[in-house]
Every structure is written in C-alpha cells, then in structure tokens.
Chain A
Amino acid sequence: MASDEETSRPFAGLSNVSISEEIPVEGDITVPTGPSTRDDEFSTLDEPVKETVLRDLRAVGKKFIHVMYPKRSSALLRDWDLWGPLLLCVTLALLLQGGAADSDDQGGPQFAEVFVIIWFGSIVITLNSKLLGGTISFFQSLCVLGYCIMPLTLALVVCRIILLGGTGIVSFSVRLAVVTASFGWSTFASTAFLADSQLSNRKALVIYPVFLFYFVIGWMILTFSPGN
C-alpha cells in the first residue's frame, strides 16, 4: 500500500489537471518535410532521352516475355503500361487493312474498326470482371488483355506469309490450325493473369467474354484475304 502511494505520488499532481477555458491552448504542429534529396532520386527529368526510352522499352519487352511463357506471376499486373497494347493494336490494324473481296468501298476491317473492337472489347471485359467482384483494377486489366493479343498478332504475320503462297484448301487448313493454336494460347495466357483475381467459382463467368473477344479477333485474322 505504501509503495503504491509512493509510485502514485509522482503522478498525483496530474490526476486533477484540467484545462481552464481562459488559457488559450494554441500552436501549430508542423511536421518537418523529409530530406530533399529524395526528390532527386526519383526525378527522371534530367536523364538523357535515350535512357528513358530504353527503360520503357525494356519494361515492354519484359512483359512480352511474360506473355510468351505465362506463369502465375504478378509482374504484369504490378507495373502496368499501355505501350505494348497500343503497339500490338496498331500492328494488327495495319496488317489487317486492305484485304477483302471488293476493293472499291470497303476493304475488309478498316483500321478504325480494329481499334474500336479491341479497345471496346477490353473495356467491356474489364467492367464485367469488376462487376463480378474482381480485385483487379481497370488499367491493369486493360494491360493484360492488350498484351495477350500478341500470339494472335504473330499468327496474323504467319498467315500473311502463308497467303503469299496462294489460297487453297491446304493453306486454309494450315491457317486455321495456326489461328486456333494462337487463340488458345492468348486465352490461356490472359486467364493465367486474370483468373487469380476472381473468386474461384466465378472463373468461368469471367473467362467466357475473354474467349469470345479473342475468338472475334481470331476470326477476323482467319477470314482475312489480301486484295489483288
């Protein structure tokens, strides 16, 4: 008891401390900002342009490699960028232009059409996966879907090379095989990234629109025939 009183005595005076209204309690607590050298570390304005461009290109290249060998890694998701999808979209649209039966009015899918299909389709799939309760963000999903178009673009290049050799039943079946394989690869690659962000029992609901999207693109590639 005595020891309690002894220990409580240093704090005895504080038990009835009250702040009267007459004493103005004021002041400002300002937190000193961190050392300014931190800004210099992250400022990339002073580096040469070549370095900036090379850094972005290296990031894009790394993501392409991730798509080629789809593993369940989160590197594609963490630093998303839309350079790769833009490059692939433009390549696809340029290669698909100028091929059709009639060449006077409509030459197959026009440049703008391919663009609209890819971006509109990606946006719809992203909204769908978000509405189904996905944890992936809008731009991350756009990034994944765009990068996974790469196998289909490669298939288009291969198809154009095959078409140089003529259009017949053999070339059609070879093209069909190539496009089907790349379509399967694209769908598999994108599900490796997207399906992880979904609840396990709703994966099929998210994968179906992706399947449809790549199917439409694959169909556009397969039915492409160059004009005279």
Chain B
Amino acid sequence: MSAGPGGRNSEPWGGFDEPLIQGSGGSAVIDMENMDDTSGSSFEDVGEMHQRMKEEEEVSEEAAAAEDDGADDGEFLGMKGIKGQLGRQVADEVWQAGKRQASKAFNLYANIDILRPYFDVEPSQVRSRLVDSMVPVRLITFPQKVAGELYGPLMLVFTLVAILLHGMKTSGTVIREGTLMGTAIGTCFGYWLGVSSFIFFLAYLVNAQITLLQMLSLLGYGLFGHCVVLLVTYNIHFHSLFYGLWLLIGGLSTLRMVAVLLSRTVGQTPRLLLCGTLALLHMSFLLYLHFSYHRIVEGLLDSLEGPALAPMGRVARDVHEVTLNLSSSSLGTLLRAH
C-alpha cells in the first residue's frame, strides 16, 4: 500500500494520471479514521471539517509554493537564493495570518445576524402593534408585555424623516450649515435613540423593569401618533386643528407609553419622575416639529409665489422689514458722514 513518489503512474489500472478534479491545485483529503460517529449530522463537525480542509489546502499551497521556489532557485542555493525564498515564505505566512485574523474579526463584529431576531415579524403583527400604540392599557398593576422588535420602530422613524422633509420643503427652510436630509435624519434618529437611552437610564436609576430594546420599541411605536399628526397638519395649516390633534393623538400615544411604564415601576416618586419626563419630552417634540417649520411658511408665502395655500395668521415679515429699514438708514448715515 506504499506509494512511492514516482510509482503511481505505472500502476496497471491507470493510477492517478487522469485529471480527477479540474481546476486550481489543492487536494481535499478527508481522513476517514478521524471522523466521529456523529459527524455529518451536526454543523460544528462539518464546519470543523471544512475549516480543517481549508487549512490543509492553505498549508499544501504554501508548501507547494515553497517547493516551487526551492526548485526554481536551483540545486545550489546562494545567499540571495536563501533570502529570496525565506523572505517570500515569511511574507506569505504573515499575509495568511493577517487575512485570517481580519476575516475572523469581520465575521464577529460585522455580522448582521445579531440583529436578525429583532426583525422576525409578520405584517399582521406590525399592523396590530401600530393600532395598539394608540390605545392606552387599563391594567397597570401587572407588567404589560412590550414586543422587542425593531422593524416597526425603524420604519416609523424613516416615515417621520420623509414627512419632516416634506414639511421642510413646503416651509422653505434654509439650512445654513448642513443639508435638509441631514437635519431631518439627525432630528428623528437623535430623538428616537437619545430619548430612549435617557429614559432607559432613568428607569435603571429607579429600578424599573424595562430593557433598552423594549424602550426603543415602545418609543418607536409612539412615533406613529406623531407621523399622523404631522402628515395632516403640514398640509392643512389650522392652528386649532393642530392643537386639537396634538392633545388627542399625541396624548393617546403618550398615555399608552406612560401606562406601560407605570405597570413596570413601583413607588410613587419613581413613577412620577419616569412618566413625567417621558410625557414632557414626547409632547414637546411634537410641538417642536410642528412649529419650527411652520412659522417660516407664514413669512414666505407673501413674498414668494409658492403653491396655492391659504395664508394664515400673523405675518413675521414686519420684523424683517424693520431691520432692513434700520440697516439701510444706518448705512445711509455712515455714507453721509464720510
């Protein structure tokens, strides 16, 4: 059963001189003696085998390369020959080791499979959670269930970004440093991530039972009310309508979040602190989103020809005219003085 280096082609049955495996070099040699009885049925074993095969391939490639180099340099290796071959081998090994490290690190950190369980939802679940986010629960003595998913909140934040962009466009916002898109994304994501982390930190301080994922999910779904209100009021500019919707829809979604938090906190002061902070931040965010892009509309509508919208309320243009007059008169006095 011994196979000498030159003898295989002389076998009567043809030996190995037929190309069995086409393609690049590297042979896949599986040593049957080392396989467990359970191998092939578990992923770890197959993965291990695969890894070992790859390593053997690499080692055999390196050995083949080294052998080729040795053969190329000839039988008599001068100083240059040794350095060349050694240097090349070392460089090769360093490269292989570095590549292995980098791919291991990449597979560990850039693996999106970490997030996969949070996106495991069905459309009907998302729909029911959207509707539930506007319905305050009545039972606060028992910890309410909060779904830990990220698809719904993420989509709602993006929807809010799109609505905000629409609002900024129709109000003719001029952003000096930065871009419209950057501001919109920064505002919405900043609110979602920042306020969630802050409330989670407060909850940690008062020992409330909520995890960061649940808080992200809760606040994300709470933005559904904001989306609805802004969608309506960026297009129909009635102040009273906005205030009514602010109280009604904003209030409902805030009440829902507050009720969930109440059910998971004990003690009067912690409850007041946590829920008061959340209610304040949530309602004032809606106010801020509406008013920061609304006042500008009133001023600009008179001076520019925009789409046909009903002009509303006070015009802020008077202030601009006054400052313009002041500056022109001061310039005039300056010129006259010289």
Asked if A and B bind, the verdict is: yes
A residues at B contact (CB < 8 Å) = 17, 19, 23-34, 101-102, 105-106, 109-110, 112-113, 116-117, 124, 127-128, 130-133, 167, 169, 172, 201-202, 204-205, 208-209, 212, 215-216, 219, 223
Which chain A residues lie closer than 8 Å to B122 at the CB level? 201-202, 205
Determine whether B141 belongs to the interface, using a CB cutoff of 8 Å to chain A. Answer: no
Q: A113-B179, A117-B181 are in contact. List 13 more A-B contacts (CB 8 A).
A: A17-B1, A19-B1, A23-B2, A29-B29, A32-B17, A33-B24, A106-B174, A110-B179, A128-B119, A131-B119, A201-B122, A205-B121, A209-B158
A133 to B17, CA, bound (A): 46
A29 to B174, CA, bound (A): 72
Structural contact, B175 and A106, CB atoms closer than 8 A: yes
* Partner among A19, A27, A105, A219 whose Cβ is within 8 Å of the Cβ of B165: A219
Structural contact, B162 and A204, CB atoms closer than 8 A: no
Which chain A residues lie closer than 8 Å to B155 at the CB level? 208-209, 212
Q: For chain B, which range describes its interface: under 10, 10 to 19, 20 to 34, or 35 or more residues? A: 35 or more
Which residue in chain A gives the minimum CB-CB distance to B18? A32
Least Cβ–Cβ distance between A135 and chain B, in angstroms: 14
Given contacts A106-B174, A109-B180, A219-B166, is CB(A130)–CB(B25) below 8 Å? no
Structural contact, B21 and A31, CB atoms closer than 8 A: yes
Within 8 A of A (CB), among B129-158: 151, 154-155, 158
Least Cβ–Cβ distance between B300 and chain A, in angstroms: 8
Determine whether B20 belongs to the interface, using a CB cutoff of 8 Å to chain A. Answer: yes
* Partner among A24, A31, A105, A131 whose Cβ is within 8 Å of the Cβ of B20: A31
* Partner among B151, B162, B175, B304 whose Cβ is within 8 Å of the Cβ of A212: B162
A33 to B23, CA, bound (A): 6
Given contacts A110-B179, A132-B119, is CB(A30)–CB(B25) below 8 Å? yes
Structural contact, A219 and B169, CB atoms closer than 8 A: yes
Structural contact, A127 and B25, CB atoms closer than 8 A: no
Which chain B residues lie closer than 8 Å to A215 at the CB level? 162
Which chain B residues lie closer than 8 Å to A24 at the CB level? 2
Least Cβ–Cβ distance between A53 and chain B, in angstroms: 30
Determine whether B8 belongs to the interface, using a CB cutoff of 8 Å to chain A. Answer: yes
A215 to B20, CA, bound (A): 55
| 13 contacts across the A-B interface (CB closer than 8 A) | A24-B2, A25-B2, A33-B24, A105-B176, A106-B175, A128-B119, A131-B151, A133-B116, A172-B307, A202-B123, A212-B162, A216-B162, A219-B162
Q: Which of B29, B119, B308 has the most CB of A within 10 A?
A: B119
A165 to B22, CA, bound (A): 66
A178 to B19, CA, bound (A): 61
Which chain B residues lie closer than 8 Å to A33 at the CB level? 23-25
Which chain A residues lie closer than 8 Å to B20 at the CB level? 31
Which chain A residues lie closer than 8 Å to B126 at the CB level? 205
